Amino acid sequence: MIRQLISRVFGRGPGKPAVVPSARHGIRREAISNGSRRVVETLQDSGYEAFVVGGAVRDLLAGIAPKDFDVATDATPEQVRRCFRRARLIGRRFQIVHVTMGQEIVEVTTFRGHHDQRDGPRAQTDAQGRVLRDNVFGSQKEDAARRDFTVNALYYDPVAETVTDYHHGLDDLERKTLRMIGDPATRYREDPVRMLRAVRLAAKLDFVIDAGTQRPIGELAGLIENVPPSRLFDEMLKLLTSGHSLKCLQRLRAEGLHHGLLPLLDVIVEQPLGKRFVTLALENTDRRVREGRPISPGFLFATLLWNEVLARWEALKAGGERPIPALHEAMNETLDAQAEKLAITRRVASDIKDIWAIQPRFEVRSGKRPYGLLEQPRFKAALDFLLMRAESGETDAALGQWWQDFLDADGPKRVAMLLEQTPAAPKKRRHRKRKPAANAAEVESEGETH
């Protein structure tokens, strides 16, 4: 009904897009970034077609502040480059141009063409149908058909203030529905990451995934295993830092999509303690993202994998290994097991290890070592991690509080705090030994192992 009405009002014929004026879509040109607006204007002045496209248009229409503004054009990357003083060609799988406008970098892509035309060049695919290389240029219409969801295929022209809509994206926005363009199963086979995008965007936008778009996911979830681990890492990072990580992970699990990503997560969330810890970590991350505070990928993955480290660490210690070497072995085993599926970058992996390796060092609260710990570059992250362990019930809350107080204290107060914790003199010690506080005993023996 609505579609027919729109077609009638805006004169859409078969295969023709609706070109919707601002009175209906409501986006004002002031809402887009200066940089992207100037890029579009410059390209149009040079005689090319140019639009703001993708996530930015979708988010503006959904009332969300866009993260970035991408531009699509019929100019080739080389032609785009020649229009701007500061422009660089980048990209392997897709060739794109980065145009620098003041502080802003605007990503400009040339319209992509079909790769399944009988007489045109074919995209290279692997045995499962995954597209490997894809640099065929095309018309705006072809470009729209190549995008994933209808709401991602809307083109905003800030000069004319129109939205061009080939696939009823505006209707789907109104219905809060995520719908794949074309045959969903084929599109997932071409690029299995689209399954993850469906989950992430539905959570972010609070949309439902259309039944037809959702249906093939269960059957095709295994294709995720076929995606290069580095690309999965990028997509997982987007998902985990979306501000809706908890919702996304629950949904991934419900769809059976998590197996190839964080295989360890499956085991982890099944354990009550692990579940509590991971849930806390994700809630904490989502809160930070929504408050606009930075989040560290290292911290995030450290929390997701911690219970796995703990389990392995315990097993190694039970087998007679000394605590600290056992911890390092458990850390490496956990990261190696994870790396087969999802390539955590080396820098992030080193952050993760720093955060983990500091944990047992919090047990030592006497002598000079606590000062040394404060100087560790990852101290603050490690303390946040400890506080979260305490909150989940895995470790003593008093320990985290002590370190927080120690961090906040001035010089004399720190000295006093350390004295309070220092093992008592021999005489008193004998006295204390008759009635030992469980923690004090642990701290003393742990201290000796370092």
Least distance from ligand ATP to the Cβ atom of residue 106, Å: 12
What backbone phi and psi angles, to 5 degrees, belong to 97?
Answer: -120, 130
Bridge partners of 264? Answer: none
**In the complex, residue closest to ligand ATP by CB:** 55
Task: Name residues contacting ligand ATP, limited to 233-252 (CB under 6 A).
Answer: 238
In sequence order, the 6+-apart residues with CB closer than 8 A to the CB of 373 are 358, 361, 362, 364, 379
* Contact with ligand ATP (CB under 6 A) among 12, 130, 147, 167: 147
**Spatial contact of 57 and 71, defined as CB atoms under 8 Å apart:** no
Token reading at 66: 């866009």
Q: How far is CA 248 from CA 79, 237, 252, 358, in A?
A: 40, 12, 6, 30
Would you say 123 or 387 has its CB closer to ligand ATP?
A: 123
Contact stretch for ligand ATP (CB under 6 A) within 134-142, 191-199, 317-325, 367-375 = 191-199
Least distance from Mg ion to the Cβ atom of residue 442, Å: 49
* x/- map, 196-215, ligand ATP, by CB under 6 A: -x------------------
Using the rule CB under 5 A, is 234 a contact of Mg ion? no
Contact stretch for ligand ATP (CB under 6 A) within 186-194, 346-354, 381-389, 414-422 = 186-194
Using the rule CB under 6 A, is 148 a contact of ligand ATP? yes
**Spatial contact of 110 and 83, defined as CB atoms under 8 Å apart:** no
Using the rule CB under 6 A, is 70 a contact of ligand ATP? yes
How does DSSP assign 351-385, residue by residue?
HHHHHHHHGGGGG--STTHHHHHHTSTTHHHHHHH
Q: How far is CA 81 from CA 73, 157, 221, 287, 445, in A?
A: 12, 20, 39, 40, 65
Residue 147 interacting partner from Mg ion, ligand ATP, none (CB closer than 5 to 8 Å by kind): ligand ATP
* Contact with ligand ATP (CB under 6 A) among 20, 75, 193, 240: 193
Residue 112 interacting partner from ligand ATP, Mg ion, none (CB closer than 5 to 8 Å by kind): none
* x/- map, 41-60, Mg ion, by CB under 5 A: --------------x-----
Least distance from ligand ATP to the Cβ atom of residue 74, Å: 16
Would you say 239 or 302 has its CB closer to ligand ATP?
A: 239
How does DSSP assign 291-326, residue by residue?
TT----HHHHHHHHHHHHHHHHHHHHHHTT--HHHH
Cβ atoms < 10 Å from Cβ of 219: 11
Least distance from ligand ATP to the Cβ atom of residue 235, Å: 9
Least distance from ligand ATP to the Cβ atom of residue 350, Å: 26
Would you say 189 or 197 has its CB closer to Mg ion?
A: 197
Least distance from ligand ATP to the Cβ atom of residue 197, Å: 6
Residue 191 interacting partner from Mg ion, ligand ATP, none (CB closer than 5 to 8 Å by kind): ligand ATP
In sequence order, the 6+-apart residues with CB closer than 8 A to the CB of 75 are 43, 46, 48, 50, 83, 110
In sequence order, the 6+-apart residues with CB closer than 8 A to the CB of 103 are none
Tell me the C-alpha distance between 133 and 92, whole Å.
Answer: 8
The residue type of 184 is: P
Would you say 242 or 284 has its CB closer to Mg ion?
A: 242
Q: How far is CA 73 from CA 81, 109, 148, in A?
A: 12, 6, 18
Using the rule CB under 5 A, is 129 a contact of Mg ion? no
Would you say 55 or 447 has its CB closer to Mg ion?
A: 55
Token reading at 120: 């045109």
Q: Which residues are catalytic?
A: 68, 70, 148
Residue 238 interacting partner from ligand ATP, Mg ion, none (CB closer than 5 to 8 Å by kind): ligand ATP
Using the rule CB under 5 A, is 256 a contact of Mg ion? no
Would you say 169 or 260 has its CB closer to Mg ion?
A: 169
Cβ atoms < 10 Å from Cβ of 226: 14
| Cα distance from N-terminal residue to C-terminal residue, the chain | 72
Bridge partners of 99? Answer: 87, 106
Residue 130 interacting partner from ligand ATP, Mg ion, none (CB closer than 5 to 8 Å by kind): none
Residues forming the site for ligand ATP (CB under 6 A): 54-55, 67, 70, 147-148, 152-153, 191, 193-194, 197, 238
Enumerate binding residues for Mg ion (CB under 5 A): 55
